[in-house]
């Protein structure tokens, strides 16, 4: 997918979300609850991705401060 196609899709999704937000005060209570549940799900997925990426980067990039130096006994 080209970057122009991706940007076009993102713009379309943004416009749909904006339209949904504009019509939300006139919506049924059930539709408002479903919309909030969808937003909560998206937020949870993004939060979990950020946590997973930060934990992965923390362990892979040498930022782990808990590493212990292994000491081997001296040969006599």
Q: What is the pLDDT of residues 20-43, one digit of tens each?
A: 888 888 888 998 899 889 989 999
Decide which of 12 and 60 is more confident.
12
Contact by Cβ (8 Å): 24, 32: yes
Alpha-carbon gap, residue 31 to 25, rounded angstroms: 10
Q: Give the model's pLDDT for residue 53.
A: 85
Q: Give the model's pLDDT for residue 20.
A: 84
Q: What is the pLDDT of residues 47-67, one digit of tens each?
A: 999 998 888 776 666 555 555
What's the whole-model pTM score? 0.54
């Amino acid at each position: 997918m080209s970057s122009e196609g991706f940007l076009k899709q993102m713009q379309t999704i943004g416009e749909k979300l904006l339209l949904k937000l504009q019509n939300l005060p006139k919506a049924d209570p059930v539709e408002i609850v479903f919309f909030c549940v969808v937003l909560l799900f998206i937020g949870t997925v993004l939060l979990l991705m950020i946590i997973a990426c930060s934990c992965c980067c923390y362990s892979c990039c040498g930022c782990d401060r808990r590493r212990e130096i292994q000491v081997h006994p001296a040969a006599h």
